[in-house]
Amino acid sequence: MEPSSSFEANAASNHNRAERTDQAITAMDAILYKAAAEGNIDLLFKIRSSIFGLQDSDEKRTDPASAAEFVRYVLEKCPSLSLKANEEEETALHIAARYGHVSIVEVLINQEKSQNQDDDLESGVVVGDAKEMPIGRVNKKNDTALHEAVRSNHIEVVKLLIKKDPDFSYGANAAGETPLYLATERNFSDLASEILETLKSPAYDGPHGRTVLHAAAFYDNEEITKNILKRYGALSKQADHKKGWTPLQVAAYMNNIKTTQLLLEHDRELAYIKDVDGRSALHIAAQRNSKRVGEEIVSMCPDCCELVDQTNRNELHDLPAQGHLRKKTVEMILKNLSSLWSLFNDQKDADGNTPLHIHCKAFGYDQGRMNSPGVDKRVSNENSQLDTNQIASTRENLPTHEVSYT
C-alpha cells in the first residue's frame, strides 16, 4: 500500500473511531442523566469503567486522581448528583469521607451550585445554607460527612470539610454524638484540636447529657481538656443525665490525675458537686480506690471529706469495704489529716455505723490502729449496739459500693 494511502486509511479509521466514541459518550450521558434522576449511585460506579475505557483504553483508571476525575466528569454532566442519596440517605460525600478519599471529597465540596436551576434534573432543590449543601446533609443516622471522617480518623478529610464552612457547627447525630465528641471519645487528639481551632462554634454534645469534657476526662487527655476549659469553661459543671456526673467525677472514677488537677485548678467548687446518689468526686475516688485523685482532691479541698451521700456516708465509710488497699488509704488519710479523726469516730451512716465500725468489721482488731490516741473504742452503732471491740471480733465481708460509668 502506498504511504499516502496508508495515511488516508489511518485517518479514516481514526475519524470513525472518534465518531463512535462521541456517539458512545453521548449515549453514556443519557444513562448518567437517568441515573441522576433516579438517584442510582450504584449504576454510576458501574458506568465509570466504561467511560474511562472509551477515553483511555490502555490505562486502568483506578488511582485516586482518576477517581476524582470521574466524579468531576459526572458532576459536570449532572451537578445535582452531589446531593443525591442512596437508600441509607448517604450522599457521595458521606461515602468518600468514610473511606478517606481526599481528592474525591475535595471535588465534591467544591462543586458549585448549578447556574441554571431549570436545567438541573433535581428541580426544586435549592442549595442554600450549609445544611442543604453536601457538607451539611445527614444520613439516616443523622451523620454528616464530618461524622464519618472523624469516626474513621481521616484527618485530611476532616481538614477539608471544616475549612469549607467554619461557621457551620455540626450538630449531634441520632446517637447524640457531635463530631467533636466523637474525636475526643476516641482519643483522636489531632482531630479534636483541628475542629476546636477551625470551627467558630463547634457543637460539643455527647449522648446522655455528656459533653466533650466528659470524654476528655475519661481518657485523661490533658491537651483537649485545656483547650475545652479555655473555650467552654462552663462545661466543667455540666452533669450528665444518667448519673449526674460532672467531668471531675468521671476523672475520679478513672483515677485520671492530670484531668483532675486541671479541673480543680479551673474551679475548686467542682469538688463539692454531688451526683444523683449524693456522691462527690471524693466518694467516687474512695469507692474506686483512686488514690492519686483522692489525695489531690483532699489536698486542694480538705473539707470535702465531710461531704456525705444519701446514706450519710463520707469517703472514710467507703474505703474499708473495698479491701486491703483501701486499708492503707485510710491509714494514709488519717495520718496526714488528723482533723478527720472526728469523722472517723463519730460520722454515722444510715445503719448507725461510723467509718471506724466499718474499718473494724472489714479488717478485724488492728492493735496499732485501735490503740491510736484518736480512736474511741467505746462508740457503739445504733442497730446492734456493739462497740468497736465487739464488731472487730465478728469480722465479716462487707457489701461493696462499687460504681460504674455506663
In a shared domain, residues 341 and 392: yes
For residues 253 and 290, give the distance between their C-alpha atoms in angstroms, rounded to a whole number: 7
In a shared domain, residues 295 and 340: no
In a shared domain, residues 361 and 394: yes
pLDDT of residue 133: 80
Contacts of 272 (CB under 8 A, 6+ apart): 280, 301, 304, 307
For residues 323 and 362, give the distance between their C-alpha atoms in angstroms, rounded to a whole number: 8
In a shared domain, residues 315 and 279: no
3-state secondary structure of 45: helix
Give per-residue pLDDT as tens, 24-35. 445 555 665 565
Quick check: 185 and 191 in contact, CB under 8 A?
no
| Crossing angle for the helix pair 257-266 and 247-254, to the nearest 10 degrees | 150
In a shared domain, residues 398 and 372: yes
For residues 181 and 214, give the distance between their C-alpha atoms in angstroms, rounded to a whole number: 9
In a shared domain, residues 227 and 248: yes
Has residue 55 been placed in a domain?
A: no
Q: Kindly state the cell numbers that stand for 34.
A: 437517568
In a shared domain, residues 228 and 297: yes
For residues 86 and 38, give the distance between their C-alpha atoms in angstroms, rounded to a whole number: 10
pLDDT of residue 295: 87
Q: Kindly state the cell numbers that stand for 63.
A: 488511582
Has residue 73 been placed in a domain?
A: no
238-276: b or e for each residue (b if 16 or more CB lie within 10 Å)? bbbeebbbbbbbbbbbbbbbebbbbbbebeeebbebbbe
In a shared domain, residues 335 and 363: yes
Has residue 274 been placed in a domain?
A: yes
Has residue 99 been placed in a domain?
A: no
What domain range includes position 368? 311-406
385: domain CATH number is 1.25.40.20
Contacts of 341 (CB under 8 A, 6+ apart): 334, 374, 375
pLDDT of residue 50: 60
pLDDT of residue 213: 98
Nearest to 39 by CA among 125, 117, 141, 103: 125
For residues 281 and 286, give the distance between their C-alpha atoms in angstroms, rounded to a whole number: 9
- Flag the least confident range among 87-96, 110-119, 276-285: 110-119
Has residue 295 been placed in a domain?
A: yes
Give per-residue pLDDT as tens, 289-338. 888 998 899 899 988 877 877 766 766 656 554 444 355 555 555 555 45
- Domain total in the chain: 2
3-state secondary structure of 159: helix
Report the percentage of the chain scoring pLDDT > 70: 56
pLDDT of residue 232: 96
Has residue 123 been placed in a domain?
A: no
Q: What is the mean pLDDT of residues 3-19?
A: 45
For residues 326 and 178, give the distance between their C-alpha atoms in angstroms, rounded to a whole number: 39
Quick check: 302 and 336 in contact, CB under 8 A?
no
- For residue 344, which phi and psi values (nearest 5 degrees)? -65, -40
Domain end, chosen from 286, 304, 322, is at: 304
Nearest to 32 by CA among 87, 84, 67, 68: 84
In a shared domain, residues 341 and 316: yes
pLDDT of residue 7: 37
pLDDT, mean over the chain: 75
Has residue 142 been placed in a domain?
A: no
pLDDT over 80 (residue 168): yes
Domain end, chosen from 251, 275, 304, is at: 304
DSSP per position, 260-304: HHHHHHH-GGGGG---TTS--HHHHHHHTT-HHHHHHHHHH-GGG
Nearest to 34 by CA among 102, 81, 104, 95: 81
Q: Kindly state the cell numbers that stand for 71.
A: 466524579
Has residue 7 been placed in a domain?
A: no
In a shared domain, residues 332 and 288: no
Which H, E and C letters describe 351-384, residue by residue? CCCCHHHHHHHHHCCCHHHHCCCCCCCCCCCCCC
370 — pLDDT class (breaks 50, 70, 90): low
Q: What is the mean pLDDT of residues 193-198?
A: 96
Helix (DSSP H) and strand (DSSP E) numbers for the chain: 21, 0
Domain end, chosen from 304, 329, 352, is at: 304
In a shared domain, residues 276 and 341: no
Q: Kindly state the cell numbers that stand for 127.
A: 442549595
In a shared domain, residues 323 and 395: yes
Q: What is the mean pLDDT of residues 199-215?
A: 97
